């Protein structure tokens, strides 16, 4: 298995460009099923989750051609409507194919999706099943596979018990080709949802309100397909900003949308981390001492759960005590045990809260990446730490961060990829 070996402490310098958003791209690939025309996706990140998603659409019968960050998909000749367990086990976003397959073919088979182990038990899909049922779908579960069928999908009203990103996007895509009007309430408001809606509307869908809690979709018979530029990854943007702050470096983060990480940048202002920002860049300046801060993860535009692990590492270097409250996933703080092994002073209060006492010196250790965001947090800790850190199970990091070793090396990090 591949590993990353990192020698610290290191200061980063220069510039780093942000790749296309993983969580936007993972929705536009299945959205291509809604049209029989060819979609051209630009700024597609070269990461493992995207490769799995493209494998899945090819398995279904779509034609895919990929060259660098540009990918063309044509789904006219799709012949299959099942999502095989070997791919579904690897990515949670396999669930994003269910709505479009149901909308176009009235039928879909799939197992419960896998992905990061960040919530107790399996991550639920009850909102999807309930929403599809309201549109007229019949669900059967046999031998661990769901079978969803619908003779005709009709508009409905659906209220999400909790705002769900993939739930909102799935019902929005399905309602696009349904009969009549669908109103979705208490929707998630993440920028990736707005980007998906903007693309669908450009292609003929009738969607209003994406990016607000209420989305209204008037079903249409067909939509077209065209070019789509994936928006910059806001989690990668925030991760690099935290990485620069934690290593007390000067780093310019390019090709990003600073507005998408306003929650993080407003905290930087409060705790005294110096930075400049423009419409598409953030320049983090070296800040020797900064204050601690209590965070509570929240749906967009609040503090993103996907930045919680990097921020926890940052707080090990702050001048005082911070409380990290992870409200969305109850396994996302377990990685802090590895930070403690590196020398951090962290007390776990319960699965949702840790107290971090800073500043502490960190030391290189042998670590294993349990999930994508904890994995990148370990890289940040390794850059801060004295000595050598070895991070195992880096498939988890490669799932969401393109060529992370090469990109960080170009900014001065001493990082190399090795095999056992």
Residue 145 or 220: the one with the smaller Cβ distance to ligand EPU is: 145
> What is the distance between the alpha carbons of residues 318 and 356, in angstroms, rounded to a whole number?
9
> What is the distance between the alpha carbons of residues 374 and 342, in angstroms, rounded to a whole number?
14
**Minimal distance in Å, beta carbon 194 to ligand EPU?**
13
Q: Do 55 and 64 touch, CB atoms closer than 8 A?
A: no
**Minimal distance in Å, beta carbon 127 to ligand EPU?**
3
**Minimal distance in Å, beta carbon 378 to ligand EPU?**
14
Q: Which value, to the nearest 10 degrees, does the dihedral of the CA atoms of residues 235, 233, 97, 131 take?
A: 60
Among the options 19, 71, 116, 256, which is catalytic? Answer: 116
> What is the distance between the alpha carbons of residues 106 and 132, in angstroms, rounded to a whole number?
11
> What is the distance between the alpha carbons of residues 114 and 371, in angstroms, rounded to a whole number?
12
Q: Do 253 and 408 touch, CB atoms closer than 8 A?
A: no
**Minimal distance in Å, beta carbon 96 to ligand EPU?**
7
Residue 290 or 303: the one with the smaller Cβ distance to ligand EPU is: 303
Residues that bind ligand EPU (CB under 6 A): 22-23, 26, 92-93, 116, 119, 123-128, 162, 164-167, 188, 304-306, 328, 372-373, 400
Judged by DSSP in three states, 273 sits in: coil
Spell out the residues 6+ positions from residue 72 whose beta carbon is closer than 8 angstroms to its own: 38, 39, 40, 41, 63, 64, 65, 66
> What is the distance between the alpha carbons of residues 114 and 194, in angstroms, rounded to a whole number?
25
Residue 97 or 275: the one with the smaller Cβ distance to ligand EPU is: 97
* DSSP of 86-140: HHHTT-GGGGGGHHHHHHHHSEEEEEPP-----SSSSPP-HHHHHHHHHTT-EEE
Residue 110 or 127: the one with the smaller Cβ distance to ligand EPU is: 127
116 assigned to active site: yes
**Minimal distance in Å, beta carbon 278 to ligand EPU?**
26
Residue 309 or 317: the one with the smaller Cβ distance to ligand EPU is: 309
* Residues classed as catalytic: 116
């Amino acid at each position: 298995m591949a590993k990353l070996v990192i020698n610290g402490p290191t200061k980063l310098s220069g510039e780093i460009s942000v790749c296309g958003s993983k969580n936007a791209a993972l929705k536009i690939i299945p959205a291509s099923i809604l049209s029989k025309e060819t979609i051209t996706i630009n700024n597609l990140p070269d990461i493992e989750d995207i490769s799995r998603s493209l494998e899945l659409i090819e398995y279904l019968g779509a034609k895919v051609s990929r060259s660098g960050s540009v990918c063309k998909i044509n789904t006219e000749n799709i012949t299959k409507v099942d999502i095989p367990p070997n791919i579904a086990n690897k990515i949670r976003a396999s669930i994003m194919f269910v709505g479009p397959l149901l909308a176009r073919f009235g039928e879909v088979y799939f197992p419960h999706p896998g992905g990061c182990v960040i919530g107790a038990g399996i991550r639920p899909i009850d909102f999807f099943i309930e929403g599809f049922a309201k549109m007229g779908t019949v669900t059967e579960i046999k031998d661990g596979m769901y079978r969803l069928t619908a003779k005709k999908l009709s508009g409905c009203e659906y209220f999400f018990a909790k705002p769900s990103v993939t739930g909102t996007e799935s019902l929005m895509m399905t309602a696009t080709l349904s009969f009549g009007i669908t109103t979705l309430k208490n929707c998630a408001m993440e920028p990736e949802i707005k980007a998906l809606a903007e693309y669908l509307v450009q292609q003929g869908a009738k969607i209003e309100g994406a990016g607000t809690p209420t989305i209204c979709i008037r079903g249409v018979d067909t939509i077209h397909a065209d070019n789509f530029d994936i928006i910059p990854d806001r989690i990668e943007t925030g991760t690099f900003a935290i990485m620069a702050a934690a290593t007390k470096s000067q780093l310019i983060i390019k090709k990003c949308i600073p507005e998408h990480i306003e929650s993080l940048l407003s905290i930087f202002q409060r705790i005294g981390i110096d930075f400049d920002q423009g419409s598409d860049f953030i320049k983090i300046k070296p800040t020797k001492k900064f204050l601690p801060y209590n965070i509570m993860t929240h749906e967009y535009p609040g503090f993103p759960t996907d930045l919680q692990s990097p921020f926890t590492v940052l707080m090990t270097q702050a001048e005082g005590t911070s409380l990290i409250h992870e409200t969305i996933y109850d396994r996302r703080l377990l990685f802090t045990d590895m930070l403690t092994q590196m020398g951090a002073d962290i007390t776990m209060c319960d699965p949702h809260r840790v107290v971090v006492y800073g500043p502490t010196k960190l030391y290189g250790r042998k670590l294993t990446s349990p999930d994508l965001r904890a994995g990148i947090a370990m890289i940040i800790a390794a850059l801060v730490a004295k000595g050598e850190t070895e991070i195992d199970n880096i498939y988890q990091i490669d799932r969401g961060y393109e060529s992370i070793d090469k990109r960080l090396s170009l900014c001065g990090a001493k990082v190399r990829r090795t095999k056992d």
